Amino acid sequence: MTLRAIILGAAAGGGLPQWNCGCENCNLARRGEIPAQTQSSLAVSPDGQNWAILNASPDIRIQLGNTPLLFPTGLREMPVQSVLVTNGDIDHVAGLLTLREMQPFTLFATNSIHDVIAENPIFDALNASVVKRRPILLNEPFELVTNLTATLFPVPGKVPLYLEGEHVQTDLVGEQTVGVALHTQGKSAYYIPGCAALTPELRAQLDGADLLFFDGTLWQDDEMVRTGLGQKTGKRMGHMSMDGPEGSIAGFADMQIGRKVFVHMNNTNPVLRPNSAENAQACAKGWTIGRDGMEITL
């Protein structure tokens, strides 16, 4: 068995172009001068026939339609066996509503994330007699899809924006934000689309990985402020930046990882422009800039 991974969506919430944004990247994407990207999601399989989707983005209908390996194999037969969500963010759970057409699959998440979904009755559209909701304990291996083992582990993050109170802790470690470890045939891959900090524990877990998909939301921590598009920093949103002494490029520089791929990139991130200096800098440091439709095989 091998591991096949397809980036269904490489962008953060809002996608590229974002519907109400006139920033440089969004305008370039509208004109077709840089590639447009849909919202954060990954498909994985050990054999190219049985698939799991990691995070159900609001763009999942388009993503499924753009990926022939995920097309129906019969009248109501699908190669997608399961969906796993890594947090309760809208850009990771809203697509579940698109998957409501009485199609059997298993929905994996931690107890905390399942609670968030259960508390909103709109998700009852996923008929419980058809879609099995399976809670997963942290650090306990389980079969994500036939012949593919996964493990959920905590990464620093925060609760979804719609659950924020007056005081927000952005580096919570628990069930509200998780990474996914995938293991097959002695190979290891990790999917972490949201991460607030690279802790010593997380470094130890990821060192030696064969493949890493990692949070690439912003290039600079104050990017949204600099561009005049918001008042929140990356840290406030619960995301590491790529650049800077506390950024992910510097943080992973001395770690042994086979291939490093940025995903979940905000529409303002200059690395989304293939000819930008920032894109070249990230690539020179050993990173791949993810894009919709990119497939990687271990």
pLDDT tens-digit series, residues 57-108: 999 999 999 999 999 999 999 999 999 999 999 999 999 999 999 999 999 9
d(CA 65, CA 86): 23
User: Could you list the residue range(s) of the whole structural domain that residue 18 is in?
Assistant: 4-297
**Backbone φ, ψ for residue 282 (5° rounding):** -65, -45
Better-scored residue on pLDDT, 219 or 170? 219
Name the DSSP letter for residue 203: H
Contact of 213 with 181, CB cutoff 8 Å: no
Query: pLDDT tens digit string along 104-140?
Result: 999 999 999 999 999 999 999 999 999 999 999 999 9
The neighbour count for residue 20, using CB atoms within 10 Å, is 7
Contact of 83 with 56, CB cutoff 8 Å: yes
The neighbour count for residue 134, using CB atoms within 10 Å, is 12
Confidence (pTM): 0.96
Query: pLDDT tens digit string along 262-279?
Result: 999 999 999 999 999 999
**pLDDT value for 238:** 82
Contact of 68 with 87, CB cutoff 8 Å: no
Q: What pairing do the DSSP bridges indicate for beta strands 148-154 and 142-145?
A: antiparallel
- Which of 18-27, 146-155, 230-239, 279-288 comes out lowest in average pLDDT? 230-239
d(CA 224, CA 220): 9
Query: pLDDT tens digit string along 187-201?
Result: 899 999 999 999 999
> Domain of 128: which CATH number?
3.60.15.10
Contact of 74 with 48, CB cutoff 8 Å: no
Our count of domains for the chain comes to 1
**pLDDT value for 166:** 75
**pLDDT value for 1:** 65
Of 55, 86, 89, nearest to 175 by C-alpha is 86
The neighbour count for residue 64, using CB atoms within 10 Å, is 21
